[in-house]
């Protein structure tokens, strides 16, 4: 599997995240380029020293290639730490995620961990989530057009995600609606309303999950933000 192109900011934050991964840990690994860079670093250091639950098929494949043991979330595995990326990060450490389509599995992995640290490039910081990036909403395929109409009662618009001219399917076989949120709406209320919408499986608002965020800059420095 081809490696992602290098970015100084991404490489720096992946190295910082590596310092959090201690021998003997069982970690949760999300998806995205920063996480994949971290997987490669774990493989270079000592892949047999940790086990991992993974949030996407691609992350799982990369982990196995590097020699990391991939474990199932079977009710027995206890995750010491979850590490995942983000598409946007607000000043309160709220995250918008799901650009890679793994938001449901990512939220399940994060929820199973004692601590969650998000890793991203500095440019992902925004004053308000949804400013530059559409909010992914995962929906079941059956009756998705009707579900979309319900979702449109909560957001400005909702576009069906496609790949190569066909509807994009998540690893769970669901569809994604990429939604433009209202500029002045309450995001906590939106998260709850979307979660309660029939046909919606999950959404990409991770408002209170992150315990800390590591941000990599182009000069190779890393800033750590922690929740108050």
Per-residue pLDDT of 144-189, as tens digits, reads 999 999 999 999 999 999 999 999 999 999 999 999 999 999 999 9
Does residue 6 register a pLDDT over 90? no
Whether 19 is in a domain gets the answer: yes
Same domain as 118, residue 90: yes
Tell me what percent of the residues of the chain surpass a pLDDT of 90.
93
In a domain, 3, yes or no: no
In a domain, 58, yes or no: yes
Could you tell me if 117 and 51 lie in one domain?
A: yes
pLDDT at 2: 41
Q: Determine the angle formed by the axes of helices 33-45 and 57-66, rounding to 10 degrees.
A: 20
The CATH code of the domain that includes 148 is 3.30.70.260
Indicate which residues carry an active-site annotation.
106
Residues 81, 142, single domain; the answer is no
Do 110 and 21 fall within a single domain? yes
Phi, psi of 40 (to 5 degrees): -60, -40
Contacts 24+ apart (CB under 8 A), 218-224: 218/8, 218/9, 218/122, 219/8, 220/8, 220/9, 220/11, 220/12, 221/12, 222/12, 222/13, 222/15, 222/16, 223/122, 224/16
Is 5's pLDDT higher than 70? no
Q: Is the model's pLDDT at 1 over the cut of 50?
A: no
The answer to whether residue 1 is domain-embedded is no
Same domain, 53 and 161: no
Place of tokens 């076989």: 173
Arithmetic mean of pLDDT, 25-30? 97
State residue 186 phi and psi, 5-degree precision: -80, 120
User: 133 near 99, Cβ under 8 Å?
Assistant: yes
Total domain count, the chain: 2
Full DSSP string of 180-193? EPPTT--HHHHHHH
Instruction: Tell whether 107 and 144 lie within a shared domain.
Output: no
The span from the CA of 106 to the CA of 54, in Å, is 8
Same structural domain for residues 54 and 109? yes
The CATH number covering residue 75 comes to: 3.40.50.1360
In a domain? residue 67: yes
- pLDDT of 131 reads 87
Q: Please give the angle made by the CA atoms of 110, 116 and 122, to the nearest 5 degrees.
A: 115
Same domain, 92 and 165: no
SS3 71: coil
Domain of 167 in residue numbering reads as 135-202
Is 145:70 a contact under the CB 8 Å cutoff?
Answer: no
Residue 150 to residues 137, 138, 145, Cα–Cα distance (Å): 12, 13, 9
- Torsion over CA: 123, 91, 204, 14 (sign): positive
Same domain, 152 and 52: no
Q: Quick check: 114 and 208 in contact, CB under 8 A?
A: no
Tell me, yes or no, whether 70 lies in a domain: yes
Mean pLDDT of the chain: 95
Question: Does residue 169 belong to any structural domain of this protein?
Answer: yes
Q: Are 121 and 71 contained in the same domain?
A: yes
- 166 is written with which tokens? 């066909």
- What is the structure's pLDDT at 123? 95
Query: Do residues 24 and 122 both lie within one domain?
Result: yes
Query: Are 91 and 188 in a shared domain?
Result: no
Q: What is the pLDDT of residues 107-142, one digit of tens each?
A: 999 999 999 999 999 999 999 999 899 999 999 999
């Amino acid at each position: 599997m081809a490696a992602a192109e290098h970015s100084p900011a991404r490489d720096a934050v992946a190295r910082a995240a590596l310092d959090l991964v201690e021998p003997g840990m069982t970690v949760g690994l999300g998806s995205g380029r920063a996480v994949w860079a971290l997987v490669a670093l774990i493989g270079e250091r000592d892949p047999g020293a940790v086990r991992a639950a993974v949030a996407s098929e691609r992350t799982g494949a990369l982990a196995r290639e590097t020699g990391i043991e991939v474990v199932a979330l079977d009710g027995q595995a206890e995750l010491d730490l979850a590490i995942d990326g983000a598409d946007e990060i607000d000043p309160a450490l709220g995250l918008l995620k799901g650009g890679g389509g793994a938001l449901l599995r990512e939220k399940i992995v994060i929820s199973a961990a004692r601590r969650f640290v998000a890793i991203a490039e500095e440019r992902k910081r925004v004053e308000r989530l949804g400013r530059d990036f559409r909010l992914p909403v995962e929906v079941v395929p059956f009756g998705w057009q009707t579900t979309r109409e319900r979702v449109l009662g909560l957001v400005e618009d909702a576009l069906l995600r496609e790949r190569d001219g066909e509807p994009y399917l998540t690893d769970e076989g669901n569809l994604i609606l990429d939604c433009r949120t209202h500029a002045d709406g309450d995001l906590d209320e939106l998260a709850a309303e979307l979660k309660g919408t029939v046909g919606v499986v999950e959404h990409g608002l991770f408002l209170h999950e992150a315990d800390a965020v590591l941000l990599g800059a182009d000069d190779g420095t890393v800033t750590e933000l922690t929740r108050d």
